[in-house]
């Protein structure tokens, strides 16, 4: 199969999965947006995705993301940064990312705002929340108890629009249970930030569970583009 045929067929399957999950959850079919995660895949694939109507792509490593966003600047795509963010790279990320989904500590707000300022336009921000059990050594994601302070820092920074929350289900746990906890966290977060309605959750293996628990954005990589190389 040619690469365009392969991607088109996979995209079709994923779009149907999203619609079916919405129907099953009693939600409107257009409630959930697809972000195709293009990390490790070449700009030529991003170009094919754009031709097939994909509007949002996700990347998790700064250098790769920056190069691809530059190469694909003519496509009018929305670039989501979904990876671990170093504070010394945050300003640079905000210079090409339209949405930064992985904001998990207050230190990032200042540099992100400076990057947005330099480019002269606002950047959408999601706060990444950890779904690990309390006491776990969180690799990424703010603890739910720290979200209020983090949100305040983002709102005070200027040029950053607080849009909602993002999470990854912990490995080795039933994603349904993890996303149920996320839905609780989100409900109390929405109480204080009613405009921050986005919820980015769900990947190739667990998008149905995420949609069941309120996801508005799913981040899907391998189900659309195939297996990523395991090295690197």
- Rounded to a whole number of angstroms, the minimum distance from the CB of residue 10 to ligand PLP is 11
Binding segment toward ligand PLP, per CB under 6 A, in 2-10, 86-94, 108-116, 221-229: 221-229
Is 216 a binding residue for ligand PLP by CB under 6 A? The answer is no
| Residue whose pair of structure tokens reads 């990523």 in the numeric block | 228
Burial (Cβ within 10 Å: 0-12, 13-18, ≥19) of residue 43: middle
- Rounded to a whole number of angstroms, the minimum distance from the CB of residue 7 to ligand PLP is 14
Roughly how many angstroms between the first and final C-alpha of the chain, as a whole number?
Answer: 27
Is 222 a binding residue for ligand PLP by CB under 6 A? The answer is yes
Is 95 or 140 the residue whose CB approaches ligand PLP more closely? 140
DSSP state letter for 41:
S
Q: Which residue is nearest to ligand PLP (CB)?
A: 221
Binding segment toward ligand PLP, per CB under 6 A, in 17-25, 46-54, 153-161, 218-226: 218-226
Binding segment toward ligand PLP, per CB under 6 A, in 47-55, 157-165, 180-188, 217-225: 217-225
Is 62 a binding residue for ligand PLP by CB under 6 A? The answer is no
Is 11 a binding residue for ligand PLP by CB under 6 A? The answer is no
Is 162 or 218 the residue whose CB approaches ligand PLP more closely? 218
For CA atoms 231, 133, 160, 36, the dihedral sign is positive
Cα 123 from Cα 103, distance rounded (Å): 12
| Residue whose pair of structure tokens reads 């671990």 in the numeric block | 84
Q: Find the binding residues for ligand PLP in span 136-175 (CB under 6 A).
A: 168
Nearest to 222 by CA among 65, 34, 39: 39
Task: Identify any residues that bridge with 57 across adjacent strands, giving them in sequence order.
Answer: 36, 79
């Amino acid at each position: 199969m040619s690469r365009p045929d392969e991607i088109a067929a996979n995209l079709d399957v994923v779009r149907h999965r999203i619609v079916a999950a919405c129907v099953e959850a009693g939600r409107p079919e257009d409630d959930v947006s697809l972000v195709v995660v293009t990390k490790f895949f070449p700009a030529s694939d991003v170009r094919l995705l754009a031709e097939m109507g994909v509007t949002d792509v996700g990347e998790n490593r700064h250098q790769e993301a920056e190069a691809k966003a530059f190469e694909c600047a003519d496509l009018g795509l929305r670039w989501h940064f979904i990876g671990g963010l170093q504070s010394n790279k945050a300003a640079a990320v905000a210079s090409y990312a339209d949405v930064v989904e992985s904001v998990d500590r207050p230190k990032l707000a200042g540099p992100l705002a400076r990057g947005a300022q330099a480019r002269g336009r606002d950047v959408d921000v999601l706060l990444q929340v950890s779904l690990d059990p309390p006491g776990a050594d969180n690799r990424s994601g703010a603890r739910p108890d720290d979200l209020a302070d983090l949100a305040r820092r983002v709102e005070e920074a200027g040029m950053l629009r607080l849009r909602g929350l993002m999470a990854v289900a912990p490995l080795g746990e039933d994603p349904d249970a993890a996303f149920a906890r996320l839905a609780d966290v989100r409900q109390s977060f929405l109480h204080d930030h009613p405009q921050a309605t986005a919820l980015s959750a769900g990947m190739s293996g667990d998008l149905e569970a995420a949609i069941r628990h309120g996801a508005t954005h799913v981040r899907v990589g391998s189900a659309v583009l195939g297996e990523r190389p395991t090295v690197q």
